[in-house]
Structure 1
Amino acid sequence: MNRAALYQIAENWFEAQNWKPFAFQKQTWKAFLQGKNGLLNAPTGSGKTYALWFPIILNYIKQVDEGKIKKQSGLKAIWITPLRALSTEIKQAAERVITDLGVPMTVGIRTGDTSTTERTQQKNKMPDLLITTPESLQLLLGSKNYAQTFAKCTAIVIDEWHELLGSKRGVQMELALSRLKSITQDMRIWGISATIGNLELAQEVLLGKETDAFKNSVLIKANLPKKITVKSILPKKMETYPWRGHMGLHLLDEVVQIIRKSKTTLLFTNTRSQCEIWFQTLLDHYPEFAGEIAMHHGSIAKETRIWVENAIKNEELKLVVCTSSLDLGVDFAPVETIIQVGGPKGVARFLQRAGRSGHQPGKESVIYFLATHAMELIEASALKKAAAETIVEDRIPYLNCYDVLIQYLNTLAVADGFYPNEIFKEIKQTFCYQNISDAEWLWVLNFITKGSQSLQAYDEFKKVEIEANGLFKINNKRIAIQHRMQIGTIVSDAVLNVKFLSGGYIGSIEEWFASKLQRGDTFIFAGRKLEFHSIKNMIVLVKLANGKKESKSVSWMGGRMTFSAQMSELLRQELYKVNQELLTPELKALQPVFERQQKESIIPNDNQLLIESFKTREGYHTIFYPFEGRFVHEALASLLSYRISLLSPISFSLAYNDYGFELLSDQILDLEALFDNNLLSTSHLHDDLQSSLNATEMARRKFRDIAVIAGLVFTGRPGQPVKTKHLQSGSQLLFEVFRDYEPDNLLLRQAYIETFEHQLEEGRLIQALERINNQEIVVKRCEKPTPFSFPIITDRLREKLSSETLAERIAKMTASYLKV
């Protein structure tokens, strides 16, 4: 059967659906059937799933027609999804095509949710088309005779590649692909990505640098115009807009008006805690919504999440309050409106969420931005520009992740074993390990076989045995079982399941929150008011709470995000427009705030760094405004306080947000003298950072995750997790051993590199200082806190006060500072 006949099969199917295939879909079919690899860049809701299921199925029809393969002869293609929640919809799309075409193919799902019975069935007879996750793919590579399982696989599709790129899960995929290329004869590798700033690099990372797969590849861009309308939710009286806050509940009534006008709305929050609070507040103030609204986040029971997703599709819900758990993939055509509460901190995340409405080709996406405090309206203005000009972030890939490599080698050793020379050639072709040296490779091999230099005396770290023929193999059954239980690169704080005393699973909360609960305490979780009873066998037992007793809202660690580099640049550009009077509607709405800021201080231009100082009963405040994002400001605040302390004995309290940072002390700073001593110099930056931030302590915390991924510490069996404090103490002990007796240990080195490159963003910090050194430094001595400084100085209070007390304190401070 020639290609023209195959294309006609696809064209006829589309015509039967009253659809017409897009040019990018036809391009993908053609490239795939020509034997090419590639990266498809297409917006969500544009039909990208059919762009790749079709050529996979058409290729099968062609091979059967030519007698190259027999029907029902095993695994033909793998579809990788980063989210298990997407697998059902992807399966339905494939089944729709094969059923309509009458093709005798089977489709299966293999994720963490797949039952043991189904896994066993798949082991005996794999489906033709398999939908799975990066972790489950690794588990397949860790099974006996895996080469036979994949031998006749002709394609692998990595969906949402932009989500995996720049993460250790992406590295995991690179390694898996390097093995699959070797054990299959004719495997085509395809990635699907939403728009990112560095698509060409994304293609290179996917296919491997300087490989035959990369040389025989294409980059296909959908080029479908997608209209995204961004609307800011503004109060009737701007003067009453809060100077700081993080919930946005002051605009509840305006939000409800928008919800009532739409059939279905998704309200996105940045954190699970915020999600819980918004859901509960909506029900408290608008009880008539009961039964029409639901909540969706990653800690809610899977059954509940699936029910919510189906209810959205079936137009049974008016509103869903959600987090990033609904960012990706699932097709919610009925959704008309998106509301984003608070700055999303990145352009790509914002555009991804906007695309959840109008989730069909040619449909307009509408997203409302709800600024939680005045300054966030500048972000709204910046996001409008980004949406209009499609300005999105780059994704920066990882290099030399020794922990992921160690886990991968142990996975191969658990299966059929491996020969080092063969595997070394494969991993050298990946982007992540393209520069790994022979000495580093030898160190990794010694680590998995001998436990590294400093752990040679302990048999538990000697996992891999070298057999007489040079095969590296794990033969110890206990080590093999523990390794399979711990495959993966997502390391989070220990979570405990929450169940009713009477039975029934609700969801999961983090161990640190559960450990603070006393019997009789009430807390709000998954939209219910619960009373804590006890923790038994690592399960939090609760019952429904009665009465009006004050309840806590569940909170999770790691809830704070930071500006991306692109978002920071966009925000500065919008702010600089104020002095040029090039005002967007959002900037016009901020006029009362800007007028007060200019009365007390200035609004900086693009060639100025603003520093404000003033005195309150807390002490002397010095505020810097680089507008570079929370993580960069955290590093800058620590760096400057350290450098100042070298010049004179002084101690500081630090506070920072995405706009700037504060140094609070009990004595006034002579800023002019400090700048004369190269306060903002990039010289000796790395050493000063290491001293100022106690980088060893930060690296120690980072090492815990590395130790888990590398298998140095065991996280526990299903239902019996090791407590976080025990994991921490175990990994800390190893950290101290390596630091004192093996300072050239690659995992120790990796902990410091990740601390500086990913947590402190040292590269961005250097760029920020270089930019600042070319600006005029403007120091304004103010009488009282300014609108720009207010969010920063009150952010410090959040660490000390409860939400209610903080709100009262801020209200008093606002009233005081607004007095003329």
Structure 2
Amino acid sequence: MSGAGVPPEIESWFAGRGWRVRRHQAEMLAAADSGKHAMLVADTGAGKTLAGFLPTLADFTPSRLDGARPPEGLHTLYVSPLKALAHDVQRNLITPVEEMELGLRIETRSGDTSSDKKRRQRSKPPHVLLTTPESLSLLLSYEDSFELFKGLKRVVVDEVHAFATQKRGDLLALALTRLQAIAPDMQRAALSATVADPDAFRDWIAPDGDVDSVELVEGESGAEPEVEILLPDEERVPWGGHAATWSIAQLYQRIRDNRTTLVFTNTRFLAEYIFQHLWDANEDNLPIGIHHGSLSKEARRKVEAAMAEGKLRALVCTASLDLGVDWGDIDLVVQMGAPKGSSRLLQRIGRAGHRLDTPSRALLVPGNRFEFLEATAALEAVEEGKRDGEDFRPGGLDVLAQHVMGCACAGPFHEDALLAEVTSCLPYAQIDKPTWERVLQFVATGGYALRAYDKFKRITRDKDGVWRLTHPERAYQHRMNAGIIIDAEMLEVRFRNGRSLGRVEERFAASLRTGDTFQFAGVNVEVEQLKDMELIVRASKKSAMIPSYGGLRLPLTTHLADRVRGLLTDRAGWARFPDDVREWLEVQDWRSQLPGPDNLLVESFPHGGKHYTVYYTFTGWNANQSLGMLITSRMEALGMMPGGFVANDYSLAVWSLKPVEDPRPLLSPDILTDEFIDWVQDSHLLRRAFREVAVIGGLVERQHPGKKKSGRQVTFSTDLIYDVLRKYEPDHVLIEAAWADAREKMTDIGRLGDLLDTAAERLEFVELDRVSPLAVPVMVMIGREAVPQGGADDELLLEAETLAGAAMRVEGLPEGLGD
């Protein structure tokens, strides 16, 4: 079945469609023929998925079979981050398979697949199975998995950048090591359009750290994308706001002028908000749809089918459609608000055209002036082909515990053999023997403090060092509950008498401590208690310490943040900006300073009877929110009487009754040891993180036969266990995993640490007599409840004009400046 070159059947099929086999597609086939693994980086529309499957198709061509029967059993696994993508790939693969009469059976397997079909797939598998990391991990937990996968020839990991650096990637890396142990000759292939560091992903996909066994294939260059930034007709970019509702009339005209437009937003609320505004403007009654993760599966499938059939003129969506879905008739992509990363923008732009020789057309619509700079930085990064992405970090111990339990469900294992498997993948290469033994003991007994309870006894070891299940029912329970994706909870905000004010995202609520105040639904409230998925508050006459509830936000990448800083200090480049943006920067430069790529600018000024300090961090909302908590805590300890803070992606504004005369003591690195630990433990951040790792690690089960625990019940169970462990076993493996999540996911401690290092070495402190132009975008957020982001935009703009009037007054301005 081996062969060199592209089989003639495949060449003929391409030619019959007026296509040719691309260089990178042929190189992926050549890598497989030479026995190598492969990492393909190619633009969207370059035929990446077909390139990944080309070795599989070749194995089933008559010229390669040379009279032999097609291979039986499971030949290729395709793993993607989205169920929708797997269904789309199945639809697109069936055409060449049928037209070349290859006899390949292709099926999908996910949480939506019926139990009867899942059973049949294990006993009579298709040649190609399209699945997700979670479903693959569950397949490996069955005793017959050794028989199912022993003949596996190939695994194709699509859109690898979307999950390799996260816990889903940890789970998949562990699954790949198990598959390699079952089928030693199995080849791996990873596909992506947007990785910044391909060699890092080669390390991830490589078995046993053998990066030289992974061929890096780079795709042919496609047509350059055509990207423009939409500006208000009067060339006046707003000071504040995120929804960019000023653009609706222009956006609607673009939809009318194009065949199909895909409108991306960064949050589900903004998707609904923009969709409603477009319908209000839809005087032609054009078919416009909406797609996001909160919609039902039926609603999403209906919209996807309508798009595939070309029945919609526009679709407003979130990241739910970022990846891979091939709708070739889209001729314009719109990004509402800031893109937050060049790789994300490239991915979204690639939805338009979706052909290598056709330029993708995109429109960026900034909501405010900083977003204009961010859009400019992202556009220039796209033009230069510069990508960004998350760094790899050590694998989660909760994910490792889940994998250990899955392996036990498949059959007895020897701990040394399984450890060798585990350490052969990048996320767990550094796991040492003591940590491994702690993980095993956790799966076996729940840990030292819980070992007296039979419910936590899941595996046991015999005298020969072989581990096995304590009872067969444990396997059933594991399969019902295994998974990595923990649905985000919304918490009810209510007074103690039961009156509800609405709901906030749990991530925000978990950062609060008793006594914190924030504004919600137009009322200043003080936190009394976070209990059973409810935030209990009381009305307060205190000023709102945290006036802006941020909701779920896409993080601003470090790469894009650095580019925005570069734009601020590139004075010669300001000439290409709209007049009002250029004037904004010129007056800031004259009156204060501009934050540079390698320093931290801090400004202080009086306003409205209070003293304000603004830190231009560019670390993203999450890190800025954490820093605001820590700084106000330290200010309280120093008697500076802080009143509160507000943050956006670019800056943090803190106000107090006493002025900050030197910000350096507030930014000393020890804030990440003393105040950080106190804050995380006093807030519910660690409890929230513990709940997630307890569910992933299998300590708490959400599903039971015929019954599912509510979020409230899960929280009650995990809170009880958390309190026990904090008291009796504070070094428990899940407490360690929760701390890792709290540091990285919830507080972005890595970026905070880098910021404090910069502050220690290169802090620029400027004392002003009034608000600076650069401070206006963050200052207008003060006192505005931001749950309905966009809904308060009109009020924000009115307040911005008042602040901007003070910031941009030009008495004494040098001649010609600001003209």
Give the alignment's TM-score, normalised by structure 2.
0.87
Q: Which moved more, 1:644-653 or 1:430-439?
A: 644-653
CA displacement at 1:583 relative to structure 2:
2.2
Q: How much has 1:766 moved relative to structure 2? A: 2.6
1:268 aligns with 2:264: yes
Q: Residues 14-53 of structure 1: matches in 2 within 5 Å?
A: 14-53=14-53
What pairs up with 1:409-420 in 2 under 5 angstroms?
409-420=404-415
Q: In structure 2, do the counterparts of structure 1 residues 617 and 513 end up closer, same or farther at CA, with 3 Å as the change threshold?
A: closer
Q: Which moved more, 1:157-166 or 1:751-760?
A: 751-760
Pair 361,803 (structure 1): closer, same or farther in 2 beyond 3 Å: closer
Deviations 1:391-428 (A, max 9, x none): 21133223141101111111122232322222111111
- CA 1:44–1:818 in structure 2 vs 1: closer, same or farther (change >3 Å)? closer
Q: Once the 2 structures are TM-superposed, how far is the Cα of residue 562 of structure 1 from its aligned partner? A: 2.5
Shift of 1:243: 1.4
CA deviations over 1:84-143 (Å, ceiling 9, x no partner): 101222223332233222222211111112123322332331111111111111111112
Q: Give the distance between the partners of 1:215 and 1:99, measured in 2 at CA.
A: 36
Equivalence for 2:658: 667
Report what 2:694 is aligned to: 707
Tell me by how many angstroms 1:741 deviates: 1.0
Q: Distance in 1 between matches of 2:598 and 2:219?
A: 39
**Residue 285 of structure 1, aligned match among 243, 263, 281:** 281
Q: How many Å separate the matches in 2 of 1:685 and 1:511?
A: 28
User: Retained in 1: the 8 A contact 2:260–2:331?
Assistant: yes
The residue that corresponds to 1:218 in the other structure is 215
Unmatched segments (≥5 aa) in structure 1: 495-509, 524-555
Supply the distance in 1 between the matched residues of 2:80 and 2:307 (Cα, whole angstroms).
Answer: 21
- What SS does the aligned partner of 1:620 have? strand
Residue 564 of structure 1 is matched in structure 2 by: 557
Equivalent position of 1:375 in the other structure: 370
Q: Distance in 2 between matches of 1:616 and 1:694?
A: 34
Pair 1:317-2:312 in alignment: yes
The aligned residue for residue 128 of structure 1 is 127
Q: Answer yes or no: is the 8 Å Cα contact 1:64–1:71 preserved in 2.
A: no
Match for residue 429 of structure 1? 424
Post-superposition shift, 1:375?
Answer: 2.0
1:42 CA drift (Å): 1.4
> Structure 1 286/597 Cα, relative in aligned 2: closer, same or farther at 3 Å?
farther
Partner of 1:162 in structure 2?
161
Aligned to 1:526: none
SS of aligned partner of 1:385 = helix
Alpha-carbon contact 2:566-2:596 (below 8 Å) kept = no
1:572 to partner: Cα distance: 0.3
Instruction: Give the whole-Å Cα distance in 1 for the aligned partners of 2:682 and 2:393.
Output: 20
Give the secondary structure class of the aligned counterpart of 1:294.
Answer: strand
Following the alignment from structure 2 to structure 1, what is the Cα–Cα distance between the partners of residues 710 and 781? Answer: 31
Deviation, 1:696, is 6.5
In 1, are the aligned partners of 2:492 and 2:500 still within 8 Å (CA)?
Answer: no
Per mean C-alpha deviation after superposition, the further-off stretch among 587-596 and 37-46 is 587-596
Question: Are the counterparts in 2 of residues 243 and 787 from structure 1 also a CA contact under 8 Å?
Answer: no
Aligned residue for 2:191, secondary structure, equals strand
CA displacement 1:638-670 (0-9 Å, x = unmatched): 343344444435334121111111111122232
Please say which of residues 115-124 and 431-440 is displaced more in the overlay: 115-124
Gaps of 5+ in 2: 504-548, 810-819
Q: Say if 2:789 is the partner of 1:789.
A: no
**Number of aligned pairs?**
761
Matched, 1:757 2:757: no
Q: Structure 1's 687 and 390: CA in aligned 2 closer, same or farther, altered over 3 A?
A: farther
Cα shift readout 1:687-734 (whole Å, capped 9, x = no counterpart): 343235557642222111101100111223598542223322322222
Q: Distance in 1 between matches of 2:101 and 2:395?
A: 47
The match for 2:733 is 746
> Contact conserved, 2:624 with 2:649, CA < 8 A, in 1?
yes
Asked whether the equivalents of residues 74 and 149 of structure 2 are also in contact (C-alpha less than 8 Å), the reply is yes
Structure 1 152/410 Cα, relative in aligned 2: closer, same or farther at 3 Å?
A: same
Tell me the equivalent position of 2:718: 731
Residue in structure 2 matching 1:635, options 616, 620, 626: 626
Letter paired with 1:204:
D
**Partner SS, residue 473 of structure 1:** strand
- Residues 240 and 368 in structure 2, CA contact (< 8 A), matched pair in contact too: yes
State which of 799, 808, 812 in structure 2 corresponds to 1:813. 799
Q: 2:482 — aligned with what?
A: 487
Q: Is 1:462 the equivalent of 2:449?
A: no
Deviation at 1:599, TM superposition (A): 7.0
Q: Structure 1, residues 196-240: CA drift from partner, whole Å, max 9, x if none?
A: 1221011111224434xx44221111141441222111112244x
From the superposition, tell whether residues 801 and 123 of structure 1 become closer, same or farther in structure 2 (CA, over 3 Å). Answer: closer
Which residue in the other structure is 1:539 paired with?
none
CA distance in 2, matches of 1:564, 1:422: 39
Match of 1:399 among 386, 394, 408: 394
**Alignment partner of 1:491: what SS?**
coil
- Contact 2:616 2:650 survives alignment (8 Å): yes
Shift in alpha-carbon separation, 1:475–1:683, aligned structure 2, 3 A = closer
1:233 aligns with 2:219: no
Match for residue 255 of structure 1 among 251, 256, 263: 251
Contact 2:194/2:387 (<8 A) preserved: yes
- Counterparts of 1:6 and 1:582, CA distance in 2: 49
- In the alignment, structure 1 residue 58 sits paired with structure 2 residue 58: yes
Cα distance change on mapping 1:286 and 1:93 into 2, 3 Å: closer
Question: Shift of residue 46 of structure 1?
Answer: 0.7
In the alignment, the residues of structure 2 paired with residue 805 and residue 312 of structure 1 have an alpha-carbon distance, to the nearest angstrom, of 29
What is residue 625 of structure 1 aligned with on the other side?
616
Q: Which amino acid aligns with 1:653?
A: G
CA deviations 1:26-66 (Å, max 9, x no partner) are 11111111221111111221111221222112224489837
For residues 818 and 23 of structure 1, do their structure 2 counterparts lie closer, same or farther at Cα, with a shift above 3 Å needed?
closer
2:813 corresponds in structure 1 to none
Distance in 2, Cα, partners of 1:400 & 1:48: 28
Does the CA contact (< 8 Å) of 1:493 and 1:511 recur in 2?
no
Percent identity for Structure 1 against Structure 2: 29
Question: Using the alignment, how far apart are the partners of 1:440 and 1:327 within structure 2?
Answer: 37
- Tell me: CA distance 1:613–1:119, structure 2 relative to 1, closer, same or farther (3 Å): same
Describe the superposition over 1:242-271 as per-residue Cα deviations: whole angstroms up to 9, x where unpaired.
311121112211111211111110010001
Letter in 2 for 1:746: V
Whether contact under 8 Å (1:42, 1:222) holds in the other structure is yes
Question: Following TM superposition, by how much is the alpha carbon of 1:182 offset from its aligned partner in structure 2, in angstroms?
Answer: 0.9
CA distance in 1, matches of 2:64, 2:461: 43
Structure 1 letter corresponding to 2:206: L
Cα drift, residue 456 of structure 1? 0.8
CA distance in structure 1 between the partners assigned to 2:356 and 2:111 by the alignment:
32
Match of 1:657 in 2: 648
Report the CA distance between 1:683 and its aligned residue: 5.0
Deviates more, 1:698-707 or 1:470-479: 470-479
Distance 1:79 1:768 in 2: 40
Residue in 1 aligned with 2:676?
689
* Alpha-carbon spacing, 1:300–1:618, altered in 2? closer, same or farther (3 Å): farther
Q: 2: CA distance between counterparts of 1:307 and 1:805?
A: 29
Q: Indicate the residue corresponding to 2:138 in structure 1.
A: 139
Which amino acid is the alignment partner of residue 733 of structure 2? L
- The amino acid that maps onto 1:741 is Y
Give deviations 1:516-575, integer Å, cap 9, x for gaps: 9x999999xxxxxxxxxxxxxxxxxxxxxxxxxxxxxxxx99522331111110110011
- SS of 1:20's partner is coil
Task: Tell me the equivalent position of 2:336.
Answer: 341
Please give the root-mean-square deviation of Cα atoms over the aligned residues, in Å.
Answer: 3.1
Q: Structure 1 stretch 586-595 or stretch 136-145: which is displaced more?
A: 586-595
Change (3 A) 1:238 1:597: farther
Residue 534 of structure 2 corresponds to which residue in structure 1?
A: none
The alignment partner of 1:375 has SS state of: helix
Letter in 1 for 2:205: L
Distance 1:96 1:744 in 2: 55
**Does residue 161 of structure 2 align to residue 174 of structure 1?**
no
